[in-house]
Amino acid sequence: MKIKKIFLATALSAATFAMAQFKQTPLPYAYNALEPYVDAQTMEIHYTKHAAAYVSNLNKAIAGTPLEKESITKILSHISKESPAVRNNAGGHYNHELFWTVLTPEKNTQPSAKLAKAITESFGSLDALKEKLSKAGADRFGSGWAWLIVTADKKLAITSTGNQDNPLMDIAEVKGTPILGIDVWEHAYYLKYQNKRADYLTAFWNVTNWNEVSKRYEEATK
Ligand code: MN3
């Protein structure tokens, strides 16, 4: 009797795992928390409509396939073999989940000592890094992302990708672990900044969560 119960419990949890679906993490602050740099309406539409659509469409695209049992990073690692729907929506889900965490209403967060040292070595200064990353975002034609990544040899690098691609994908020109990502799709800034993407990029540095970026740096360089 006892054995039968254990078997049932195991079978049930396996079934639950197989049906696991990707979900949005709750936004760690209010929609208006990043005002005036990112307006509340943009945040709400971005989180509840755009990002919600990526995760919902990802779950639809992988339903009934072996991808249901894989982590998001695993799916990204062999994205060249998947459909455009999986590529766009797995990328979109991963990118936005990262994006919400690297923003914060907390003022004056700073890179950790270890990250600050790496920034100085790679770019000369934090201001130089901001300038280069902003330029990567400004120069991205159409929709996409600007990234600060840790490469396979544990170095910092700046890159950008189109659409919802990212540096974890096997098709990325420059590969690495993203520790900071800036969404430069118009949906991320158009209501407040219209065509002025450069102004949005400048404003971004007022709400960057360097605590989170530092944490991601520590994990990527372990
Ligand atoms: Mn977006």
C-alpha span between 128 and 212 (Å, rounded): 20
Give pLDDT tens digits along the chain (222 positions): 444 444 444 444 444 444 559 999 999 999 999 999 999 999 999 999 999 999 999 999 999 999 999 999 999 999 999 999 999 999 999 999 999 999 999 999 999 999 999 999 999 999 999 999 999 999 999 999 999 999 999 999 999 999 999 999 999 999 999 999 999 999 999 999 999 999 999 999 999 999 999 999 999 999
- Going from the Cα of 100 to the center of ligand 1, the distance in angstroms, rounded, reads 10
Domain positions in the chain: 40-222
Give this prediction's pTM: 0.91
CA of 140 to the centre of ligand 1 (A): 14
Q: Alpha-carbon distance 6 to 9, whole Å?
A: 5
What per-residue string of b and e applies to 54-89 under the rule 16 or more CB within 10 Å gives b? bbebbbebbeeeebbeeebeebbeebeebeeebbbb
Q: For the domain bounded by 40-222, which CATH number is listed?
A: 3.55.40.20
DSSP secondary structure letters along 146-206: EEEEE-TTS-EEEEEEETT--TTSTT-SS--EEEEEEE-SGGGTHHHHTT-HHHHHHHHTT
18 Cα: distance to centroid of ligand 1 (angstroms)? 28
* C-alpha span between 36 and 203 (Å, rounded): 9
Q: What count of other Cβ atoms lies within 10 Å of the Cβ of residue 207?
A: 19
Tell me the pairing of strands 144-150 and 177-183.
antiparallel
Taking Cα atoms as reference points, which of 67, 63, 134, 72 lies closest to residue 97? 72
> What's the gap in Å between 185 CA and the centre of ligand 1?
6
